[in-house]
């Protein structure tokens, strides 16, 4: 599903600033159906990791392979198709403020040429899945942080992508809601979708007891699968 082979990412300096080594020699493989936490301090390189998967940034060295596409050789015109296979819940949700919850989700389908008939069936279904049926016609400003996040999740789910990626899904909401959203992600994972959760909260990763990849200063320092419940090694 997602494979990093000797990946290095350098953000070139602009004359006043030095080059920044954001990721160094990252090797990992996330398989189909896995649930993975990517853990790290602020500035560790987590978002860079995500940007490489989305092909928002290109690896300086090494190869990134996502859904069978080698992103170092991918053609510009194939990038939209790569992204249709990736459902992303951004840290700041990235909802369009002038559109209702329904329209925000429908928008992601329209963008990919899906006929209106199918949109009308699919959008209420996913909104129901994330528990937002009653809020379909509310604008983002009229929704709580947790509800906005669930709209973002609904949008990520709408294409039934094989991979769901969530960037700090618990960052902006209170602990109760974060457990709720994590349980939603788990449910999605249980039907075969690969889920990658990027977070700086160790407690979250510990609580859910899943494979945890820890990044520090751009390097993978641990990549541990729990052998038994609640037994995760941390450096």
Partner 1 sequence: MKWSSFKYLTKQGLHSMVQNRLMTVASVGVLTACLIITGIAALLSVNVNSFVDYLSDQNEFEVYLNDGADQTVVDAFVQSVSGLGNVAEVEYVSKAQAVEEMRSWMGEDGDLLESYAGEGNASNPLPASVRVRVDDLELLAETVESVKGLGADLIYDVQSPTELSSVLVGMKRAVTYAGWGLVAVLGVVSIVVISNTIRLTVFARRKEINIMKFVGATNAFIRLPFFVEGMAVGAIAGVLSTAVVGGGYYALLRALENPNAAWLGEFTRCMWPFKDVIWIMLGGFVLFGVFIGGVGCATSIRKHLKV
Q: Does 107 bind ligand ATP (CB under 6 A)?
A: no
Q: Does 48 bind ligand ATP (CB under 6 A)?
A: yes
- Do 209 and 230 meet the contact criterion of CB atoms below 8 Å apart? yes
When binding is defined by CB under 6 A, the residue of 1, 22, 59, 158 that contacts ligand ATP is 22
Q: Does 75 bind partner 1 (CB under 8 A)?
A: no
When binding is defined by CB under 8 A, the residue of 31, 81, 145, 175 that contacts partner 1 is 81
How far, in Å, CA of 105 to CA of 186, rounded?
21
Q: Does 66 bind partner 1 (CB under 8 A)?
A: no
Query: Nearer Cβ to ligand ATP, position 84 or 200?
Result: 200
Task: Name residues contacting partner 1, limited to 41-60 (CB under 8 A).
Answer: 54, 56
- Do 59 and 6 meet the contact criterion of CB atoms below 8 Å apart? no
How far, in Å, CA of 72 to CA of 79, rounded?
11
Question: Which helix H or strand E contains 128, and what residues bound it?
Answer: helix 116-129
How far, in Å, CA of 167 to CA of 235, rounded?
22
* Residue 114: partners with Cβ closer than 8 Å, 6 or more residues away: 122
- Do 62 and 7 meet the contact criterion of CB atoms below 8 Å apart? yes
Task: Name residues contacting partner 1, limited to 116-155 (CB under 8 A).
Answer: 116, 155
* Residue 35: partners with Cβ closer than 8 Å, 6 or more residues away: 185, 186, 189, 194, 195, 197, 208, 210, 211
Torsion angle of the four alpha carbons 21, 23, 25, 29, in this order, in degrees rounded to the nearest 10: -170
Residue 202: CB minimum distance to partner 1, A: 28
Q: Does 67 bind Mg ion (CB under 5 A)?
A: no
Q: Give the three-state DSSP class for 57.
A: coil
The residue range among 42-50, 75-83, 102-110, 141-149 that interacts with Mg ion, by the rule CB under 5 A, is: 42-50
When binding is defined by CB under 8 A, the residue of 15, 68, 115, 192 that contacts partner 1 is 115
Query: Nearer Cβ to partner 1, position 99 or 179?
Result: 99
Query: Nearer Cβ to Mg ion, position 177 or 198?
Result: 198
- Where along the sequence are the contacts to Mg ion (CB under 5 A)? 47
- Where along the sequence are the contacts to partner 1 (CB under 8 A)? 54, 56, 77, 80-84, 88, 90, 94-96, 107-108, 110-113, 115-116, 155, 159
């Amino acid at each position: 599903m997602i494979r990093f082979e000797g990946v290095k990412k350098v953000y070139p300096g602009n004359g006043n600033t030095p080059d920044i080594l954001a990721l160094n020699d990252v090797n990992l493989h996330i398989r189909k159906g896995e649930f993975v936490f990517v853990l790290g301090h602020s500035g560790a390189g987590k978002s860079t990791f995500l940007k490489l998967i989305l092909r928002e940034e290109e690896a300086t060295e090494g190869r990134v392979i996502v859904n069978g596409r080698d992103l170092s050789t991918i053609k510009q015109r194939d990038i939209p198709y790569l992204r249709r296979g990736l459902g992303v819940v951004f840290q700041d949700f990235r909802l369009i403020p002038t559109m209702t919850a329904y329209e925000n989700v429908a928008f992601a389908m329209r963008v990919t040429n899906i006929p209106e008939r199918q949109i009308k069936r699919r959008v209420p279904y996913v909104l129901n899945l994330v528990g937002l049926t009653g809020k379909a016609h509310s604008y983002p400003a009229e929704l709580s942080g947790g509800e906005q996040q669930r709209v973002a999740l609904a949008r990520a789910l709408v294409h039934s992508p094989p991979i769901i990626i969530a960037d700090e899904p618990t960052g902006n909401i209170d602990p109760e809601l974060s457990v709720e959203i994590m349980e939603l992600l788990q449910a999605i994972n249980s039907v075969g979708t690969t889920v990658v959760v990027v977070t700086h909260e160790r407690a979250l990763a510990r609580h859910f007891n899943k494979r945890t990849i820890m990044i520090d200063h751009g390097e993978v320092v641990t990549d541990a699968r729990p052998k038994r419940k609640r037994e995760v090694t941390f450096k």
